Amino acid sequence: MKIKNQLPTTTPEDMTMSRAWAARMFADASTLPISFVLSRQAVRGIPAAWQPAMRTRRIDANIFETVFEGADAATGLRVTVECTEYRDYPVMEWVAWFTNTGREPTPIISHICSLDATFKGASPVLYHCNGDYYSVDGYRPQETPIAMGQTFAYAPNGGRPCDGAFPYYRVAFADWGLSLAIGWPAQWAADFNGLTDGVLIRAGQERTNLRLKPGESIRTPRMTVLSWAGDGSRAVNLWRRWYLAHILPRPNGQPMKPLLACAATDEGEEFTAATEQNQIDYIDKFNSKGIHPDVWWIDAGWYPCYNKDHERRWWITGDWKPDPERFPVGMQPVSERAARDGADLLVWFEPERVQPGTALDTEHPEWLLKMPDDDNGLLYLGNPECRRWLTDHVCKLIQDNGIKIYRQDHNFPPLQHWRRNEADDRQGMNENLHVQGYLQFWDDLLARNPGLWIDSCASGGRRNDLETMRRSVPLHYTDFGYGDHPVKLAFHRTMYEWIPYFKESTLSWDQAGAGRFDSQVDSYSFHCGMAAMLFATVDIRRDDYDFALAARMIDVWRRASNLLLYGDYYPHTPYHKRADQWVAWQFDHPEAGEGFVQGIRLPASPDATLAIHLKGIQPDAAYLFTNAETGERHEIAGDVLMRDGFTLALPPRNGVIWFYRAM
């Protein structure tokens, strides 16, 4: 039977909500939702005295761009605001640029807000999260009512945008709501102020107090606002659908697919023991065991990273070339071996961190921002010469070594490197230019290497703002709790809502004798590792695993993964990190009339069953449910499902996926 469209699709009500506030804020240049201070005078929008002009162009069938531009004749400061309107989703985006067109430095420009606007509605509630900071308490969703006169302020720690804060918010009013993202891969700040008739929201780069030299430009964070009518699940799934349609990267113009990743190395820190030969041998062995990866993963330590005793330490970064002792002709033999079985090579980089005594430190100290008592030099991407060199150098590494996935990490907080290396009248300049250079570097990598895609990492998931996500996916979304199932399942809950493509592993730390990167193969570990990318974490050097079981569970994951990525998401159990509970959620594809529900009974849960009521069920349809692991099948009428629910039954420390489709 044909399935009717469900609520997660865009509705006229959503578009009405979006246009109501957008019409007010983007009516003309003077009403634009930006603000700043120039020569100690507050400015909102682009003043009429600056003779603003407007031009509009159609980017594609669904995206229109309007550019507002005006200049202050007295100072030579030109402000350009680029606004993007989506016609298929209730989304508006904008970014502002400030350029000195004069012959002298501008007066001080300060307190630049890329969003300074009031959104009207009753009973506002803020939904927010604390990001990733290597803590069991990370990715914790929070719900905060905003009463009149109250202000709630947020900012990350140390210059990485998801470190202790999360630049994604929802504000729910009584009859509508908005989802907000701050696209800034550095130090942003936002505050939410309760008013009698709504909420005043201000957001932007945290600190700006600077003069622009002639010809210089700075930019604001890119602001994204999605409007929605209905409940929280509509907000989540409308965002997911927009994100998948317009944000998720498309290598070679094709949508991202779920992928299986594998890796292996000998003893040593990270991949400091990886060699050409052992990488080829381990690829061969995975394939011989019936496990065929889509991605072969080489992480930190493949480059010369020697200390004074000639010991390899992965964190000694600044000499970007394959270690000639271990990869005498580079990594091309490894990438070619992986490609013969259909796998792409992923390789880790951390170009922004430069350690003392490395090639970059000794050959180009002028490219580094340094601080006393800190070995980490920041490769300053705000320097065009430095950025161009890095782009050329990394492109050559990509091309010479057959790298298809570029993984960039960032393992120290850069904020003080920026701030302590600039004058009082240039506060915020280093950060702004570095952000521009970082984004340009990635844009150039993608443009010059067709088919390449990027994995964003920063001590886990600390640089996953929306501007970064336009160019990448956050495979390694945290460094915490790889094999701690209650914790990582709680992390999944947040990731599924905001950033649908990430990686999870099959580690299990609750098994006797399990190490940090080692666990036996069992069904449960695979159930706790369901994500768009699955990392099959098995020690391929050993032969005592049940590789046949691993291959069967990978088949289950492959069947589930496309629905998991592109389906609508519905959690059926409350947020928690407790081993004495269940976790259950559903991914539904209403247009196709299919989906799956997954239940996980954590080890200490006393309840043998869990009854849930599925979303998106049509009362006049019949549904066939199939357990892919056992082959068990049930046919259930839609009205019965809606009345009685669906019961999951499991022994402790177990999981199940029931696929369903409308008949």
Same domain, 170 and 262: no
- Name the 3-class secondary structure at 479: coil
Same domain, 608 and 650: yes
Give the CATH number, domain containing residue 220: 2.70.98.60
Say if residues 186 and 70 touch (Cβ distance below 8 Å).
Answer: no
Mean pLDDT, residues 325-332 taken together: 98
Q: What is the pLDDT of residue 7?
A: 62
Q: pLDDT digits over 402-432, tens only? A: 999 999 999 999 999 999 999 999 999 999 9
Q: pLDDT digits over 512-543, tens only? A: 655 555 667 789 999 999 999 999 988 899 88
Same domain, 240 and 302: no
Q: What is the pLDDT of residue 108?
A: 98
Q: pLDDT digits over 454-491, tens only? A: 999 999 999 999 999 999 999 999 999 999 999 999 99
The CA distance from 564 to 269, in Å, is 33
Give the CATH number, domain containing residue 460: 3.20.20.70
* Residue 19 covered by a domain: yes
Residue 264 CB-density burial (10 A; 0-12 exposed, 13-18 middle, 19+ buried):
buried
Give the CATH number, domain containing residue 578: 2.60.40.1180
Q: pLDDT digits over 261-306, tens only? A: 999 999 989 999 999 999 999 999 999 999 999 999 999 999 999 9
Lowest mean pLDDT among 362-366, 371-375, 457-461, 471-475: 371-375
**Which domain covers residue 73, as residue numbers?**
12-245
Q: Which residue, 474, 499, 524, sits at the end of a domain?
A: 474
Of how many residues is the chain composed? 663
Split at pLDDT 50, 70, 90, the class of 213 is: very high
Same domain, 236 and 288: no
Lowest mean pLDDT among 93-97, 114-118, 329-333, 589-593: 589-593
**In total, how many domains does the chain have?**
3
The CA distance from 515 to 483, in Å, is 9
Mean pLDDT, residues 580-602 taken together: 97
The CA distance from 12 to 520, in Å, is 51
Structure tokens at 614: 């599925």
3-state SS, 134-153, equals: CCCCCCCEEEEECCCCCEEE
Q: What is the pLDDT of residue 641?
A: 96
* Residue 502 covered by a domain: no
Mean pLDDT, residues 558-577 taken together: 97
For the chain, the average pLDDT equals 96
Same domain, 170 and 266: no
The CA distance from 498 to 7, in Å, is 18
Q: pLDDT digits over 4-29, tens only? A: 344 678 999 999 999 999 999 999 99
Say if residues 350 and 300 touch (Cβ distance below 8 Å).
Answer: yes
Same domain, 258 and 233: no
Q: What is the pLDDT of residue 513?
A: 59
* Residue 170 covered by a domain: yes
Same domain, 311 and 384: yes
**431 CB-near residues (< 8 Å, 6+ apart):** 159, 186, 187, 205, 207, 415, 418, 419
* Residue 179 covered by a domain: yes
Beta strands in 352-458 (DSSP E): 353-354, 368-369, 377-379, 403-408, 426-427, 453-456
Task: Please give the single-letter amino acid code of residue 630.
Answer: T
Q: What is the pLDDT of residue 3?
A: 34
Q: What is the pLDDT of residue 214?
A: 98
Q: pLDDT digits over 101-141, tens only? A: 999 999 999 999 999 999 999 999 999 999 999 999 999 99
Same domain, 237 and 99: yes
**487 CB-near residues (< 8 Å, 6+ apart):** 136, 480, 481, 577
pLDDT exceeds cutoff 90 at 1: no
Q: What is the pLDDT of residue 127?
A: 98
Terminal Cα-to-Cα distance of the chain (whole angstroms):
7
Q: Which residue, 191, 214, 245, sits at the end of a domain?
A: 245
DSSP state of 169: E
Same domain, 203 and 310: no
* Residue 112 covered by a domain: yes
Q: pLDDT digits over 180-208, tens only? A: 999 999 999 999 999 999 999 999 999 99
Q: What is the pLDDT of residue 519?
A: 62
* Residue 506 covered by a domain: no
Mean pLDDT, residues 500-507 taken together: 96
Q: Which residue, 452, 474, 496, sits at the end of a domain?
A: 474
Neighbour tally for 505: CB within 10 Å: 21
Q: What is the pLDDT of residue 510?
A: 87
Per DSSP bridges, beta strands 353-354 and 377-379 are antiparallel
pTM: 0.96
* Residue 525 covered by a domain: no
Structure tokens at 458: 């920063």
Q: What is the pLDDT of residue 529?
A: 95
Same domain, 79 and 186: yes
Same domain, 579 and 656: yes
Q: pLDDT digits over 628-641, tens only? A: 999 999 999 999 99
Q: What is the pLDDT of residue 6?
A: 47
* Residue 489 covered by a domain: no
Mean pLDDT, residues 237-249 taken together: 97
Same domain, 151 and 240: yes
